[in-house]
């Protein structure tokens, strides 16, 4: 079957590294921040037509609407019928802040004081639903929830819907905000979070990830339509891969075998070979087991002469279900600027890891070409995306 090409024509980012594309890009190329990676200056009222709608939205939904609003403004005037515009969004958890707050209300004030808006505020699909209603998009509207791989899976699925002709434009990405007392305690008690308060991807002393919150949205459009209307095209989605480790609820498969198969699936879907990949934005969470497994997987695919690797989580921290979308935006900006941001926080090479070409200390110039973005989630969910430059 003929596959239609899929362009990325709009980007929007809400992150602790910066909100908006310019600030986000500058943040990716800055030193790793100190302390927690919460977004302190986010104002949801800037992105809602009605303040009441903002108040009736969980923080994760607010951030999703914000990044989608930015991406759609960036995409320019769409000429597609709204019935052919879909929303495929993602999250790892949903409205945890609201859920915690309302449990306390129930406990302290009784059942009758629980908000009638609680259920729509905690639903994982709330952000995607809100985006479609705000703009009147009537195409496919679905939510992917596969832990830390969720928004990578959402973008891959959205691209397939366009390539197969089920939609012409899809707004896709992810959102997450679970830096609540219970959310942080849960991750801390499972020893996933950094005890040193630092994100150090692939570093000898890495000891866990720094949790963050945020959202990123990509506007995907069928290529011929995007070219015809003169859209600003950041790049093309060439392929994607998705599979499962089927190994453990939190730990990756030994040797990164599942991750390696996922990368191979994405490369094959793009019609490429491993030697064609010129850059990899790694999942690179800064946990001992994940980084070891991913480094082994990357080495097994590309060998000792592989492409430059970076983990932008050194700056952003780990956005869980939003991470893949935030990193997809980073890859596309790397293509635009012909520059690969360094792996912030990385100081010492781990002698037990295979010799991958990790970008450290400063950004590296490159000639843009096919680039991979990896996401691997709790439950053994693996996702990889391949982006291409129109000039490559």
Q: What is the pLDDT of residues 326-366, one digit of tens each?
A: 999 999 999 999 999 999 999 999 999 999 999 999 999 99
Element (H, E) at 101: helix 96-109
| pLDDT value for 390 | 87
- Cα distances (angstroms) measured from residue 364 to each of 43, 85, 295, 368: 34, 37, 20, 12
Q: Answer yes or no: is pLDDT of 392 > 80.
A: no
Same domain? 204 vs 253 = no
Same domain? 173 vs 270 = no
**Mean pLDDT of the region 139-167:** 98
CATH code of the domain in which 113 resides: 3.40.47.10
| pLDDT value for 357 | 98
Would you say 193 and 208 are in contact if contact means Cβ atoms under 8 Å apart?
Answer: yes
Same domain? 364 vs 335 = yes
Same domain? 62 vs 200 = yes
The answer to the question of residue 165 being in a domain is yes
Same domain? 196 vs 271 = no
Query: How many angstroms separate the CA atoms of 60 and 56, rounded?
Result: 12
| pLDDT value for 1 | 62
Same domain? 69 vs 164 = yes
Q: What residues form DSSP beta bridges with 381? A: 244, 377
Give 110: exposed, middle or buried? Use CB within 10 Å, 0-12, 13-18, 19+: exposed
State whether the Cα torsion 54-75-225-386 is positive or negative. negative
Query: How many angstroms separate the CA atoms of 198 and 209, rounded?
Result: 7
| pLDDT value for 391 | 78
As a residue count, the chain comes to 392
Strands 85-90 and 169-176: parallel
- Cβ within 8 Å of residue 49, ≥6 positions away: 134
The answer to the question of residue 1 being in a domain is no
The answer to the question of residue 88 being in a domain is yes
For residue 223, the enclosing domain spans 7-228
**Residue at which a domain ends, from 228, 248, 283:** 228
Same domain? 247 vs 147 = no
Centre a 10 Å sphere on the Cβ of residue 229 and count the other Cβ atoms it contains.
15
User: Which residue's entry shows tokens 């005890």?
Assistant: 195
**Mean pLDDT of the region 10-18:** 98
The answer to the question of residue 2 being in a domain is no
The answer to the question of residue 338 being in a domain is yes
Confidence grade of residue 33 (pLDDT, cut at 50, 70, 90): confident
Residue 161 in tokens: 């819907």
- Cα distances (angstroms) measured from residue 329 to each of 61, 74, 185: 19, 13, 29
Query: How many angstroms separate the CA atoms of 326 and 342, rounded?
Result: 16
User: Which residue's entry shows tokens 């729509």?
Assistant: 120
| pLDDT value for 39 | 96
Query: How many angstroms separate the CA atoms of 220 and 158, rounded?
Result: 8
Same domain? 264 vs 191 = no
Same domain? 123 vs 220 = yes
Torsion of CA 48, 51, 56, 59, to 10 degrees: 60
The answer to the question of residue 171 being in a domain is yes
**Residue at which a domain ends, from 228, 251, 285:** 228
Question: 57, 210, 31: which is closest to 123 by C-alpha?
Answer: 57
Would you say 328 and 385 are in contact if contact means Cβ atoms under 8 Å apart?
Answer: yes
Q: What is the pLDDT of residues 158-195, one digit of tens each?
A: 999 999 999 999 999 999 999 999 999 999 999 999 99
The answer to the question of residue 322 being in a domain is no
**Residue at which a domain ends, from 203, 228, 253:** 228
CA-based max dimension of the chain: 64
The answer to the question of residue 200 being in a domain is yes
**Mean pLDDT of the region 147-152:** 98
| pLDDT value for 25 | 98
| pLDDT value for 331 | 98
Query: How many angstroms separate the CA atoms of 280 and 385, rounded?
Result: 10
| pLDDT value for 364 | 98
**Mean pLDDT of the region 297-326:** 97
Centre a 10 Å sphere on the Cβ of residue 81 and count the other Cβ atoms it contains.
11
Q: What is the pLDDT of residues 130-139, one digit of tens each?
A: 999 999 999 9
| pLDDT value for 2 | 83
Same domain? 170 vs 255 = no
Q: What is the pLDDT of residues 208-237, one digit of tens each?
A: 999 999 999 999 999 999 999 999 999 999
Total domains present in the chain: 2
Same domain? 153 vs 50 = yes
Query: How many angstroms separate the CA atoms of 268 and 217, rounded?
Result: 25
**Mean pLDDT of the region 290-315:** 97
Active site residues: 148, 283, 318
Edge to edge, what strands does the sheet with 371-377 contain?
Answer: 141-144, 85-90, 169-176, 214-222, 6-14, 235-244, 381-388, 371-377, 279-281, 309-310
Same domain? 196 vs 297 = no
Q: Answer yes or no: is pLDDT of 27 > 70.
A: yes
**Mean pLDDT of the region 94-101:** 97
Mean pLDDT over each residue of the chain, to the nearest integer: 97
């Amino acid at each position: 079957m003929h596959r239609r090409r899929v362009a990325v024509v709009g980007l929007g980012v809400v992150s602790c590294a910066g909100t908006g594309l310019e600030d986000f890009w500058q943040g990716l190329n800055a030193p790793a921040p100190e302390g927690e990676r919460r977004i302190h200056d986010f104002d949801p009222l800037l992105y809602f037509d009605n303040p009441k709608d903002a108040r009736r939205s969980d923080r994760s939904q607010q951030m999703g609407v914000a990044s989608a609003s930015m991406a759609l403004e960036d995409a320019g005037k769409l000429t597609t019928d709204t019935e052919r515009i879909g929303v495929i969004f993602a999250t790892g958890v949903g409205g945890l802040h609201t859920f915690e707050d309302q449990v306390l209300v129930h406990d302290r004030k009784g059942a009758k004081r629980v908000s009638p808006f609680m259920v729509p505020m905690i639903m994982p699909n709330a952000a995607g639903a809100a985006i479609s209603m705000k703009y009147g998009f009537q195409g496919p509207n679905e939510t992917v929830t596969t832990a830390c791989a969720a928004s990578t899976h959402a973008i891959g699925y959205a691209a397939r819907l366009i390539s197969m002709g089920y939609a012409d434009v899809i707004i896709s990405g992810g959102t997450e905000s679970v830096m609540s007392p219970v959310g942080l305690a849960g991750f801390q008690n499972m020893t996933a979070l950094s005890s040193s308060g630092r994100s150090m991807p692939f570093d000898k002393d890495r000891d866990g990830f720094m949790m963050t919150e945020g959202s990123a949205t990509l506007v995907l459009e069928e290529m011929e339509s995007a070219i015809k209307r003169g859209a600003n095209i950041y790049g093309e989605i060439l392929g994607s891969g998705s599979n499962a480790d089927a190994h453990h609820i939190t730990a990756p498969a030994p040797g990164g075998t599942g991750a390696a198969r996922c990368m191979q699936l994405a490369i094959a879907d793009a019609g490429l070979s491993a030697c064609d990949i010129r850059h990899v934005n790694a999942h690179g969470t800064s946990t001992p087991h994940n980084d070891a497994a991913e480094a082994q997987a990357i080495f097994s695919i590309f060998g000792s002469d592989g492409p430059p690797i970076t983990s932008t989580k050194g700056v952003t921290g780990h956005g869980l279900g939003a991470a893949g979308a935030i990193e997809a935006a980073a890859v596309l900006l790397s293509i635009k600027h012909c520059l690969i941001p360094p792996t912030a926080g990385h100081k010492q090479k781990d002698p037990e890891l295979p010799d991958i070409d990790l970008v450290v200390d400063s950004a590296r110039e490159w000639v843009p070409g096919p680039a991979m973005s990896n996401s691997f989630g709790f439950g053994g969910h693996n996702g990889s995306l391949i982006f291409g430059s129109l000039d490559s």
